[in-house]
Structure formats: structure tokens, C-alpha cells
Chain A
Amino acid sequence: MTSLACSGVATGTPAGDAALNRVNVFELTQAAEDAVLAPVDAGAWPAETRAAFAVRIAKLNRSKTLVAQYGRRPGGDGPLADPANDGTAQNMGVVVTFMDKVAAQTREVRANDITSLQAAGVSDADIVRLAELNAFLAFQIRMVAGLSLIKGDIA
């Protein structure tokens, strides 16, 4: 399971024992990862684009382990994975601006961030898909970061 593997939490440690009691959460997280990174109905965002955004958002969060993990997916090394790329060359400028803001400046998101996507021709269903991808990554990145902090805590 990605989240547990990336956190470095080992069995036989206090953090590992705590994780064992929540094994269903790790299993459900893996199911959610599959649902947002490689869904059956991907809408306008194929798995390769999703992998690139996953790497990009992990980079914005300085999550080295998840950058590496998502980087191994097909498309994970695509141009959108680089936070310095504003997406214009890929005709994805509005989408990239939205994804970066939702990931890194969540509190600043306003209604006009949604109307900008709509004006660029992104359907409502595809807007929800972008939000879910971004939101899941926020969850997994913090879960791995938090678990990494407690893995060595054996006091």
C-alpha cells in the first residue's frame, strides 16, 4: 500500500502497531488512490495527466517519497509534473493555475476560479474530477508526512 510504504513505518514499532489497528484505513486509501489516479471513467484527464499532476503537487508539498512514487507511473515525468511549467505550451494554463492554487493556496480559492475553468470549456464533471484528484493528494501527502514523523518515535 502506497501510503504505508512511503511513510517508512515498520511493523513491530509502536507506530507500526497503531497502523495495524487502522489497516482498513490504509486499504481504503489505496482504493481511493486507484479511483483518482487511474479511474475507469477518466473524463478529460487521462491517467498520464493525473500522474503528472500528482508529481507536481507532491513537489509543491516537498514530499520526496510521493514524488518518487508517482514519478514511476506512466506520464509521471511529463511536462506538467514540473511546477515551473505554467502549462501554456500544453494548452493547460487555466487548469494548471487552478490545480496549483487548490493545492498550495487553498484558502484563497474563490468562485471566479471555477468560472475561469468553465469559461475555458472545462465541463462541471471534469472540474469535480480535478478537485477530487487534488484533494486526495492533499490527504495522502499529509498522511505520509504525519506517519513519517511518528515512525521513529519509540519513546
Chain B
Amino acid sequence: MGGIYWLASYPKSGNTWFRTFLKNLIEDGDEPADINDLSIGNVASSRAWLDEVLGFDTAELDPDEVDRLRPEVYRWSLRDDAIAYHKIHDAYTSTLNGEPLVGREATLGALYILRNPLDVAPSYANHNHSSIDDAITRMSEHDHALCKSRKGLPNQVRQQLLTWSEHVLSWVDAPDLNCRVIRYEDMLEDPLAAFTRAARFLQLPHDTARIAKAIRFSDFKVLSRQEEQNGFREKAPKTERFFRQGKSGDWRDKLTPEQIARIVAEHGKVMRRFGYLNTAGEPL
């Protein structure tokens, strides 16, 4: 009997980089994994996945009807022998039936990839071709969701994000959820320790040599070179490269004092909890 580990994150929080590492770790190849074939599982909101398991079109359902069925789709994974690793951007919420969207029985755990919202905001703005102020506003809206238009048909179903703070707490404080937080900043600062902890949590090989190789194959220089040669399918058009130098602290150059103040005012409590603010409430 298998089960799912969710690779959960708010958008633009390092999920892609983490999955690159995971792909390299699992493949254990002699060369870096292809950035255009990073699939080690599905994305939770994939319409194709849901439709295939259900046997009918989610396009014919409204978003709440779809959400009510999603736990069943994930439970179906239990029939596979292997553990599955799936990406998810949804906040950890419950359906109208009152059960967790991810399906309690199917979920072995969740690795929550967390990034400083001061860095998330400019990255999110860039990805959406919006202003940073708009991104900050979206990150502060309880009803913020991806793919929520009911007038068309995106290839992913609706994903309720809530506010950035609510998204974080929905996962890390979820009752009965085996959840482990990995900070993007720790992945940068001490990758061997951070990725080793993650691999152990996910029941994957975590000997030092194998982790170190996977880290080397997932280095931003390696990814950037691949993107330069072959392009990257997940990069939004008309943006500069997806795999720029992974950094924390970009916000110091990109955010105005007013924008910083807005983010801290809205998300300060959660930021402090995870080490993004000092005791005086100043960004670190």
C-alpha cells in the first residue's frame, strides 16, 4: 500500500527547485535530470489526473463539486504500491463534506516549503506580470485562488490559497497532519543539512554522497545552463529566465519601505514565528 507525500507551498516559494532536487535524488543518475521532465508525480489540481481517475469531466462540475471529489481521487492512489510525491499549491482546507481536501487516509505527510513573503511578493508579481502592490494585495486576500474563473476552462482546477499567512498556518498547524517545514532560505544556506532532513522525512535515500550529488545536479548554474540551451516549459512568457540565481534578501532591492511595511503589518505574526522578523519586528 502506497500513499502520498505532498510537496506543499505557496506559489513562487521554491517548489520547483525542490522537485528538481528530488528528481535528481530519486533518479540517482550520472547526469543532471532534464528540467523539462521534472515530473515525479502530479500536481494536485491537474484536471487531467482528476478526470482520468473519476471517469467523467470535471469541466462539467462547479468548483465546490470538484473539491468534494478530490479526496476520493487522492485516496485512489493507495492502490499503488509505491509512495507518490505530488506538488500542491492549495491551502490545506476542507471540502463542504468536512474532510480534508487532500484526503486524510491517502496522506502520509506534507513537506511545506516556506519562503520569506518579502521575497515571494516580487517573484509572484513577476510571474503574474502584475505590479508588486497587486501581488501584495492578492497575498492578503482570504478568497485568493488560482484558476477560479467560472467562465473558462484552465487545465488546472481551482486552488484556494487564502492569504499567505493563512496558507502557511493551514498546513503547519493542521491537526492530524504529519507536516514538516523546510525553509527556502535554509535550502540555500545549508543545503546538505536541509535536503537531508527533507529526504529522511520523505522516506527517501539520505546518505551523504547521494544527497550531495543531487544538490550538485540541482545547482542554479546547472539549471540555468539547461534553460539557456533548451528553454523551460514552466517559465511564464515574456519574463526573464526562470532559474536566476536563487537568492534570499532580494526584497531589499525590490521593495519600497511602504511595501515592506504593508507585508509586515499583514503577515508579521507568521513571519516572526518562522524567523523572518527579529523580536523588534524588523525584517531579517
Indicate, yes or no, whether A interacts with B: no
